[in-house]
Amino acid sequence: MRIIVLGAGLVGAAIAKDLAKDIDMEITAADIDPASFDKLKGDSKIKIERTDLSDSSTVSKLVRDYDLVIGALPGGLGFRTLKTVIESSKNIVDISFFPEDAFELIDCGVAPGCSNLILGYMTSILDETERFESYVGGLPRVRAWPYEYKASFSPTDVLEEYIRPARLVENGKVVTKPALSDVELLDFPGVGTLEAFNTDGLRTLIHTMQVPFMKEKTMRYLGHAERMRMLRETGFFKKEPVSLSGGATVQPFELTSRLLFPMWKLNEEDEDFTVMRIVVEGKKDGKRKRFTFDLLDSYDKKTKTTSMARTTGYTCSTVVRLLADKKFRGPGICPPEIIGQDKKCYRYAIEGLKKKGINFKETVTELK
């Protein structure tokens, strides 16, 4: 099978390197930035294609001779590129975080991705699903002042999480709240206390899952949400140009990005971890139960692969193998929760992640 990965950043490179281990796959990684290929040096099985992926006609020509496409681009390019690939009649597994309607297209990383697979599976085994909560955070192991944060995926998409209104489901109805709102504290063994706040991570679940209460929250070290709200409310995240003295103009979002990104850059020696908690409540055989899935994954020192690249990239590559092995044949656009409803596909995905050392700990509690 000939596969091309569009985007060779931290996560895209991890996907390409993982799939290149399969003897029956021929892998190509495409990107415009030559520095993005540094992590792929020395891997003779991965073909490099330096090209401008912002050009739809280029993308259409590029994917023409491939059996499967993987989208690993920043959100600003994600939707347009994904649309181009679909219009080129190519199968694609995508992880990009774009602002457009996610139900038209799909996300398949750690969240959305693993969280969707789990909820899809739970709805298939429960008689009635009442509540779904997803908490996820990718954080640096070392808490460095002033932000105690490093961007383990596209920094632009991180800022989008802090701008884009968050959609939740309450009493069966979709409600919208500001990003960074409703901060709550959660304790995790081996990590400590983290804060969780609303972000727009439910995506396709809003349309596909008939669950009366659903929410998704991003987690950071304590105090991060307040810092980001201060910047946002002051106007540093606005995309409308602001006039300066002398007739010059500046876009606050772009300026803020330029200033923050060097401080948020995750260097090769910087270790990170991913912490995730999925909570599903529902009824089975007349009894109410709570199912909790906990994940704590760390930077791989041996391969120098970030945890976020592992959890996001390997979820994607596992679904790629699912399709390559013809285990799932759903037609059209299939969000991960639809795949998860197939019990055999769910077990295939979970076992594939276990082989990579990505293990979810499941706890079941009976409720009154």
Per-residue pLDDT of the chain (368 residues; tens, 9 = 90+): 899 999 998 889 999 999 998 878 999 999 999 988 988 887 788 999 999 999 999 999 999 999 999 999 888 888 889 889 888 888 888 888 777 765 555 544 445 788 999 999 999 999 999 999 999 999 999 999 999 999 866 778 889 899 999 999 999 999 999 999 999 999 999 899 999 999 999 988 998 999 999 999 999 999 999 999 999 999 999 999 999 988 899 999 999 999 998 899 888 788 999 999 999 999 999 999 999 999 999 999 998 889 988 998 899 899 889 888 888 877 767 888 999 999 999 999 999 999 999 999 999 999 98
Residue that terminates a domain, selected from 47, 62, 94: 94
User: For 294, how many CA atoms within 13 A lie in the half-sphere containing its CB?
Assistant: 11
Give me the number of domains the chain comprises: 2
Q: Are residues 122 and 250 in the same domain?
A: yes
Question: How far apart are the two ends of the chain, measured CA to CA in Å?
Answer: 51
The first and second tokens of residue 219, run together, are 């987690």
Tell me if 109 is assigned to some domain.
no
CA distance 271 to 266: 8
**Same structural domain for residues 323 and 188?**
yes
In a domain, 101, yes or no: no
Q: Are residues 86 and 170 in the same domain?
A: no
Whether 54 and 155 map to the same domain: the answer is no
- Mapping DSSP onto H, E and C, the string for 308-331 reads HHHHHHHHHHHHHHHHHCCCCCCC
Same domain flag for 90 and 196: no
Give the span between the Cα atoms of 217 and 231, in whole angstroms: 20
Alpha-carbon Rg for the chain, nearest whole angstrom, is 20
> 127, 205 in Cβ contact below 8 A?
no
105 part of a folded domain: no
Give the CATH number of the domain where residue 245 resides.
Answer: 3.30.360.10
| Residue 99, in any domain of the structure | no
- Both 232 and 167 in a single domain? yes
Other CB atoms closer than 10 Å to residue 80's CB: what's the count?
17
Residues near 282 by beta carbon (within 8 Å), at least 6 away in sequence: 122, 126, 127, 128, 129, 130, 131, 288, 289, 291
Domain annotation covers residue 103: no
Same domain, 90 and 120: no
Residues 168, 54 share a domain:
no
CATH number for position 50: 3.40.50.720
The C-alpha torsion from 261 through 74 and 240 to 102, rounded to 10°, is -140
Q: Do 68 and 323 meet the contact criterion of CB atoms below 8 Å apart?
A: yes
Q: In terms of domains, do 85 and 123 share one? A: no
Question: Is residue 181 domain-shared with residue 252, that is, in the same domain?
Answer: yes
Other C-beta atoms closer than 10 Å to the C-beta of 319 total 27
Q: Is 100 within a domain?
A: no
C-alpha pair distances (Å), 176 with each of 78, 132, 179, 222: 23, 17, 9, 24
Residues 262, 361 within the same domain:
yes
Tell me, yes or no, whether 190 and 55 share the same domain.
no
Domain that residue 209 falls in: 114-367
Q: Establish whether the linkage from the previous residue to 189 is cis, with ω within 30° of 0.
A: no
Domain boundary among 62, 94, 126: 94
Q: What are the strands, taking DSSP E only, across 72-148?
A: 91-94, 128-140
